[in-house]
Structure 1
Amino acid sequence: MMEKKLAGKVQTVLGLIDGDELGLTTPHEHLLLDLTVRFKLMEESVTARTMAERPMTPDMAGWIRFHLFENRDNLLLDDEELAIEEIMRFKLAGGKSVVDVTNWGIGQDPHAMTRIARSTGLNIIMGTGYYTMDSGCAEVLTRKSEDEICQEIINDIMAGTDGICAGIIGEIGADSWPLHEIEIKSLRASVRAQRATGAGLTIHPGRLDESPLQIIDIIKKAGADMSRVVIEHIDRTAYSFETMVEIAKAGCCLEFDCFSMEGYYPTRYGVFDIPNDAQRVNYIIRLIELGYLNQVLIATDTAMKSRLTVYGGPGYAHIPENVIPWMRAKGMSEEVIRAITEENPKRILTFVAPS
C-alpha cells in the first residue's frame, strides 16, 4: 500500500493532479455535513422550542444568525444537488479547487464528493481523520489505539474508499480544554500519519488563546512538519494579535476561515468577540508586515444551511466575490492575494516525501 507515489502531487477525489492545476482554492469548506450532534437549545422559551425543529427557510435568516446551533435542520447539509448549485457559484466567481474537511464523525462521504467533482469540474480534496470528541467520536477514540488511528488515516490516503482517497489530514478535532487525552491521542496519530504519507495536516482548536499553543506543543513533540500544519479558525480562537504571532512563529499556517461571520458567535461557547471581515483583513495585513505572508490562508467554513445563498447566506463564493475586492481596496497587491489564495494552499496540499 505504501508504494503509492504521492510526493509532488495533490490528491483529489478523482485522482492525482499537479499543484499548478489548483488555482484559486478555498482550503476549508463543507459541501455535505451532519453537525446535528451539536444541536442545543440555549433557552426554553416558546419561540426557541418552535424554531428548534422547524425546517430552514430564508425568512429565518435574521433569527438563525444569533441561534446557529438551536435549529436542527440548520446543522445538516445533506442535499447533493443543492451542494452542486451552491459551490458552482464559487466556480463562476473564478474558483478552481475546494478542500472539503468533512471527516469521520460528521459525515465524510467519498462517493458524493466524486459525484460533485464530476458535476462541477472543480478539484475537490477530501479530509480524513477524526473530528472532535463531542461530535460522536469519543467512543471510537477511546477504544482505538494510537497505532490503529494512525493506520486508518494512512489507509484513507493510500487506498481510500473504493479507491476514493483523502488528500489532507483533518480537520482533526482538538477543541477540548484542557485537551482531553483521547484528542491528544488523535493528534499524535495524525502527526504520525502525516510523517508516513507526506500529507498536510489541518487542526480544529478550542475557542481560547491557550488552545492552539497547547496543540502546537503536542504536535511539535510528536514530530510534525510544522510548515505543513494549519491551525484553523484563527478568527474565533486567537483573541489577541500576540497569540496569532506566537502561532506564526511556530511555523504553522494561520487559517482565517470564518469570513462572512461578522461580530457574533454563539454564547454556548462562552462570551467573546469575533472580528468582522474588515478586521480579519487588517490582521492579515499586520501578519504580512511581520513577514508571515506565506503562512496565511482564508476560507468561509460554510458548514450550515444558513450560510448558503438559497437561505440568505453569503455562500461559498464570498471570498472571490467580496473579500478579494476588499483586499484590493485595502492596498493588497495581486501577488499578495495570489499567495494567500493559490500558492499557500498549493504548498499545504502538495504531498512531500514521507519522513
Structure 2
Amino acid sequence: MCHEHLHISSESLRLTPDPCSFHAAKVNVPITMENLGWIRQYPYYHEKNLNNTDEVDAVIDELKYYKENGGSAMVDNTVTGLEPNVPLLKKLSEETGVHIISGTGFYVDATHSDETRESSVEQLASKMQDDILIGVDGSGVKCGVIGELGCSWPLTESEKKVLQAAAIVQKNTGCPIIIHPGRSPAAPEEILRIIQESGAKADQIVISHLDRTLLDKESLLEFAALGSYCEFDLFGIETSHYQHHEKIDMPSDAQRIERIKWLLDDGHQDRVTVAHDLHTKHRLMKYGGHGFSHILQTIVPMMKTRNVSQEDIEKILIHNPRTWLTFK
C-alpha cells in the first residue's frame, strides 16, 4: 500500500457546515451506528473523525490483520502539517511485523508555518535530506520517501519551493517522491513539469489521487505517457458525494478498477500503484469501515473477475512499489 496514514490529524481538511443547516448540530456527535451513514456522506464536517492520533490500538489491530492477509509493507505519507509521529511508526512496525516506510516533506500551503513559507529552497531541501540520511528530529529513524508533498490548485509559491527542494533531495539521495495534486485535471501535469524542470525523474515519482483528478480515459492515458507512476489510492470510498469538489462524483471501486484497466490495456503495467489513503476514523474497521486490508481482501478478487491477470496484480502490489521505493 503506497499511500496510507497510520497516525494523522486531518484538521486541515475540515469543512465548516452552514450554521443554519442540520449538519451543524452533528459536527461533534459520537461515531455510532445511528450516525455512521451521515459521517460517510459528510466525513469532513465531523471534527473527531479527522483525527486518528488516539486510535493507536485500533491501528495495531489493523496492521496485524493486514499482515495476516498477506500485507508486508506500507508507506505512511504523514508529513509536516499532518502531525507525523515517526517514533510511533517504528513502534507500530516492531509490534506488528509490517514494514513501514515513512515520508518526509510538507503538506499543502494551508498547513505551512511561517518558518516553512520563509525558508529558501535550499533550507527546505536540507530539512528533508536530513530526515532521510540522519533521521527525524534525533529519533534515528530515517525516512524512505519524500511526501506526500501537498499541492493546492493553483499552486502557491511555497508549494513550488517544496517541489523544487524535493527535486534537489532526489538528485542528492535517489529517494522516491510521492505527490498530492491539487483538485484540477491540469494539476498532475503542471506539478510533474515543475519538479522535472528542477531535476527530478518522472519514473521515481508517484502522482496520487488520480481517481478523483483525471476522470476520463483520454486525460488519464495522456498523463500516463509522461512516465510517472499513476496512483489510485482512494479504494474503499464508495460514496459518490465528494465534499472537497462537489461538482464531480467520486468513482466507485469498480470504476477505479476499470480505469486501471485502461492503463493496463495501454501498456502501463509498470506504472500503477494503489492504496486506500485511510486518514479518518470512520474508515477504520473499528468504526465499521473497510480498513487497510480492503484491497487485499476485496479488490484483488474483483480485479480477477474483471480479467486483470495475476501477473498484472503482482506488478501493482509488489513489483511497482518495490521498484519505486528503491533508491536510485
Taking structure 2 as the reference length, the TM-score comes to 0.96
1:118-163 residue CA offsets vs partner (Å, 9 max, x unmatched): 11001000011001112x2152331111100001000000011321
Partner of 1:41: 16
Aligned residue among 18, 34, 37 for 1:62: 37
Task: Please give the alpha-carbon distance, in whole angstroms, between the structure 1 residues aligned to 2:238 and 2:31.
Answer: 21
Separation of aligned partners in 2, 1:160 and 1:222: 25
Which moved further from structure 2: 27-36 or 55-64? 55-64
The one-letter code of the counterpart of 1:43 is D
Count of matched residue positions in the alignment of Structure 1 and Structure 2 = 325
Pick the aligned partner of 1:275 from 242, 251, 266.
Answer: 251
Per the alignment, in what secondary structure is the counterpart of residue 29 of structure 1?
A: coil
Q: What's the secondary structure of 1:27's corresponding residue? A: coil
Q: For structure 1, which segment, 241-250 or 91-100, has the greater mean C-alpha deviation from structure 2 after superposition?
A: 241-250
- Once the two structures are TM-superposed, the CA of residue 340 in structure 1 deviates from its matched residue by 0.4
After superposing the two structures, state which structure 1 stretch, 107-116 or 80-89, moved more: 80-89
Cα RMSD of the aligned pairs, angstroms, is: 1.3
197, 201, 224: which is aligned to 1:225? 201
Of the candidates 135, 143, 146, which is equivalent to residue 160 of structure 1?
Answer: 135
Among 96, 100, 107, the alignment partner of 1:120 is 96
Identity fraction in percent = 34
The structure 2 residue matched to 1:53, chosen from 10, 28, 36, is 28
Equivalent residue, structure 2, for 1:243: 219
Match of 2:167 in 1: 191
TM-fit CA distance, 1:266 = 3.1
Are residue 296 (structure 1) and residue 272 (structure 2) matched? yes
* Partner deviation per Cα, 1:10-62 (whole Å, 9 max, x = no partner): xxxxxxxxxxxxxxxx1110011001232222222463222112233343220
Q: Offset at 1:286?
A: 1.4
Structure 2 residue 313 is the aligned partner of structure 1 residue 337? yes
Shift of 1:101: 0.6
Q: Is the 8 A contact 1:117 1:123 kept in 2?
A: yes
Q: Contact 1:125–1:167 at 8 Å: present in 2 too?
A: yes
1:180 aligns with 2:156: yes
The equivalent of 2:47 in structure 1 is 72
Q: Name the SS of the counterpart of 2:2 in structure 1.
A: strand
Equivalent pair of 1:209/1:240 in contact (CA under 8 Å): no
Distance 1:265 1:131, change over 3 A: farther
* Contact kept in structure 1, 2:40 and 2:239, CA below 8 Å: no
Q: Distance in 2 between matches of 1:232 and 1:319?
A: 16
Q: Which runs of 5+ in 2 are unaligned?
A: none
> Structure 1 263/70 Cα, relative in aligned 2: closer, same or farther at 3 Å?
closer
Which residue number corresponds to residue 12 of structure 1?
none
Distance 2:39 2:115 in 1: 32
Conserved? CA contact 2:41–2:239, under 8 Å: no
Write the letter of the residue equivalent to 2:130: N
Aligned positions of 1:7-22 closer than 5 A: none
For structure 1, the residue ranges without an aligned partner over 5 or more in a row are 1-25
> Going by fraction, where is strand more abundant, 1 or 2?
1
Aligned pairs (5 A) from 1:311-330: 311-330=287-306
1: CA distance, partners of 2:245 / 2:198: 29
What residue number does 1:6 align with? none
Q: Is the 8 A contact 2:4 2:275 kept in 1?
A: yes
Q: Which has the higher contact order (CA 8 A, sep 6+)?
A: 1
Q: For the structure 1 residues 93 and 45, does the alpha-carbon distance in structure 2 shift closer, same or farther, using more than 3 Å as the test? A: farther
* TM superposition outliers: structure 1 runs of 4+ over 4 Å: none
TM-score, normalising length from structure 1? 0.89
Q: Residues 265, 206 of structure 1: CA spacing in aligned structure 2 closer, same or farther, 3 A cutoff?
A: farther
Change in Cα spacing, 1:298 to 1:56, as seen in structure 2 (3 Å) is same
The answer to whether the 8 Å contact 2:242/2:249 transfers is no
Q: Which amino acid aligns with 1:62?
A: G
Report SS of the residue matched to 1:303: coil
